[in-house]
Structure 1
Amino acid sequence: MILAVDIGNTNVCIAGLDGHHVRFTTRMVTRAHCTTDEYTAELKFLLSRLRVTAEDFEGAIVCSVVPRLTRPLADACRRLTGYEPLFVSSSLDTGLTFGVDAPERVGQDRLADAAAAAALYSLPCMTVDLGTATTYNVISAQREFLGGFIVPGVQTSLRAISAGTAQLPPIAPQAPDHLIGRNTVECLNNGAMFGTAAMLDGLAARVEEDLGQPLTVVATGGLAPYIMPCCRRGILYDGDLLFKGLSLLFEKNH
C-alpha cells in the first residue's frame, strides 16, 4: 500500500492506495506552523485509529499547494514509512503533454486530477475540483493539458462576502431545494450553489465549442454532489479523482 498525502489550503488529506483502489482516507486541518515532529505524531494517531501501521506501506507520494508545509509533511511520511516520498511535479511522467506557458507552475493538485482524467475518462475532458479554490482543467483528445480556469471556491466566496458587508451573515453552503431565495440566507446559499452550477455549465459549453468536440466533465471535491444536481448538463462525479491520479503517478514514476 502507498501512503498518499495531499496538502491543501484548508485540509491535509491522507489516503492509502492499493493500485487504483483507495483503501482509506482521513484528514487533518492545515496548520501553517506545525513541525515535522507534530505532523509525524498526528499521522501516527490518525493511522492508528484506522488500524494501519507503518509496515503496511511500501512507498509514499506527496502533492502540495502549500509550499512551506511540503518538507515537514514529506519528512513525516519518510519517518513513518521509511521511504522517501515521491513529489508531484510536471517533470514526472504524467501521461500528458503540456500546452501551457509554464508547466512547472501548474498546481500539483491540478496535475493529479488531469493525470487521472486522461487515464480513466473519455477525452476531451474537463475536471472541476470544488475546494478552497474551484479549479478547472482541460485535457484534449490527444492527452494535452491545455490549461483551464481558477476561481474562488464556494465557501471562500461566501466568507468573503460576509466579511466585506455589514448585513450578510456567514453561512455554510447546502443543497438548495428550490431556485429563488426567499430570505437572506437562501439568497446567499442559492446564489452560490446555482451560480457555481451555471458557471460550470457555461464554461463547459464554451470549452466544447472551442474544441469542436463533445466534452466529458468530471467533478470532484466535497461540494460536488450538491452542485451537480443544480447543473443542466450531465456531470460525472469522482470523489477520489486526485488520489487516483496520485496512484497513477506513483506507478509511472516509482
Structure 2
Amino acid sequence: MILLIDAGNTRVKWRLVGADATSVHAEGACAHDEISLLGAQIESRLQAGSAPQARMVGIIGTNVAGAAVAERIAALACPWGLTPEWLTPQASCAGIINGYDNPAQLGADRWAALIGARQLHAGDCLVVSAGTATTVDLLSADGRFEGGLILPGVDLMQRALAGGTAQLPLADGRFALAPRCTADAIRSGCLQAQAGAVERMFRQIAARPAPLCLLTGGAAEAFAPLLDLPLRQVNNLVLLGLQAIVRSRH
C-alpha cells in the first residue's frame, strides 16, 4: 500500500492506494493536532480491508503546513520503516509541463492539483483550489501550465479586514447582491472578489474548445454558486494528482 498525503494549512487529507495506485482502499482527513492518531487509524483500515496484513511500502505527499507538520507525519511513518517523500515540482511530470519561470518554486500542492486536473479533463481548464489561500491556475489542452494567481482565501480576506481596520468587525454575514449591513457587505465583497478573480482568469481560455473550470477545496462551496462559467466541483484534487504521479512511475 502507498499512503498519499495532502497537508494543508488547516487539515491533513490522506488516501490509501494499492502499490500501483490504481485502486483506492481508504481515505480521510484530520486536524493537525490529530496527526499522532492517524497511524493507528490507517493500520486499522489496513487490517480491516480486502487485503489483510497488507504492507505499507511508501508515503508521498505535499506539505504547505510547515516543518512541524512534516515532523509529525514523519513520526507516524516510523513504525512502518518509511520516510515520507515530499513532492518537488519538476519541469514535467505525468504529462504536464511546468511553465513556471523556476519550476521548483511552484507550490507542490498546485503542481499536484494540475496533474490531478488532467485526469478529469483533457481540454483547456482553469484549476481553482479554494482554501486558506485561493490559487487560480491555467492548464492548456496540450498539458502546459501557463501560469496562475494566488490570493487570500475567503476567510483570510475577512480576517484581514477585521485585523487591519478599526471599524470593520469579524462577523458572520450573508451574501447579497446589494448588501445593506456591514457584516453582509464584508462577506459579499470577499465572495465577489474570489468569483471575480476566477472569472477574469477564465476569460483567457473561454474561446478555446470545451474549456472547463475545476474547483476544489474547503472554501469552494462558498463562492461556487456565483461563478458564471462551465464548472465542475471536485474533491481531493491534490490526492488525485499524487495518485497519477505514482501510476506514472510504474
User: What is the CA deviation profile of residues 94-137 of structure 1, one whole-angstrom value per residue up to 9, with x for unaligned ones?
Assistant: 32122221111110000110001123213211100001110112
Q: Secondary structure of the equivalent of 1:122?
A: coil
1:42 to 34, 37, 53: 37
Q: Which of 185, 188, 192 is matched with 1:187 structurally?
A: 185
Match of 2:198 in 1: 200
2: CA distance, partners of 1:182 / 1:42: 46
1:33 matched residue in structure 2: none
* Structure 1: distance between partners of 2:112 and 2:210: 23
Residue 52 in structure 1 maps to residue 45 in structure 2: yes
Change (3 A) 1:46 1:179: farther
How far apart are 1:163 and its partner, in Å? 0.6
User: Aligned equivalents of 2:145 and 2:172: distance in 1?
Assistant: 33
Indicate how the Cα distance of structure 1 residues 24 and 66 shifts in structure 2: closer, same or farther if over 3 A, else same: closer
Residue 121 of structure 2 is aligned to residue 121 of structure 1: yes
1:29 maps to which residue?
32
In structure 1, the residue matched to 2:139 is: 139
Say if 2:80 is the partner of 1:81.
yes
Q: Could you tell me the TM-score, scaled by structure 2's length?
A: 0.83
Runs of 5+ consecutive residues of structure 1 not aligned to the other structure = 31-37
Contact 2:173/2:183, CA 8 A, preserved across alignment = no
Whether the 8 Å CA contact 1:122–1:216 is kept in 2: the answer is no
**Structure-1 separation of matches of 2:246 and 2:196:** 35
**Partner SS, residue 217 of structure 1:** strand
CA distance in 2, matches of 1:22, 1:197: 35
Q: How does 1:101-250 map to 2 (within 5 A)?
A: 101-171=101-171, 176=175, 178-208=176-206, 212-250=208-246
Using the TM superposition, name which of 86-95 and 243-252 deviates more. 86-95
Q: Given the two structures, how large is their TM-score scaled by the length of structure 1?
A: 0.82
Of residues 155-164 and 72-81 in structure 1, the stretch that sits farther from structure 2 once superposed is 72-81
- Contact between 1:137 and 1:149, CA under 8 Å: does it hold in 2? yes
User: Sequence identity, in percent?
Assistant: 27
Greater CA drift, 187-196 or 215-224: 187-196
Corresponding residue of 2:63:
64
CA positional deviation for 1:157: 0.8
Sort the Cα spacing of 1:191 and 1:80 in 2 relative to 1 into closer, same or farther, 3 A.
Answer: farther
Moved more, 129-138 or 80-89: 80-89
Change (3 A) 1:247 1:173: farther
Residue 50 of structure 2 corresponds to: none
- For the aligned residues, what is the CA RMSD? 2.7
**Is contact 1:60–1:81 with CA below 8 Å preserved after alignment?**
no
CA distance in 2, matches of 1:28, 1:46: 14
* Partner Cα separation in structure 2 for residue 172 and residue 11 of structure 1: 22
Name the amino acid aligned to 1:76. Answer: A
Q: Give, in whole Å, the separation in 1 of the partners of 2:220 and 2:184.
A: 19
Q: Secondary structure at the match of 1:52?
A: helix
Alignment size in residue pairs: 240
Matched residues in 2 for 1:125 and 1:244: separation? 16
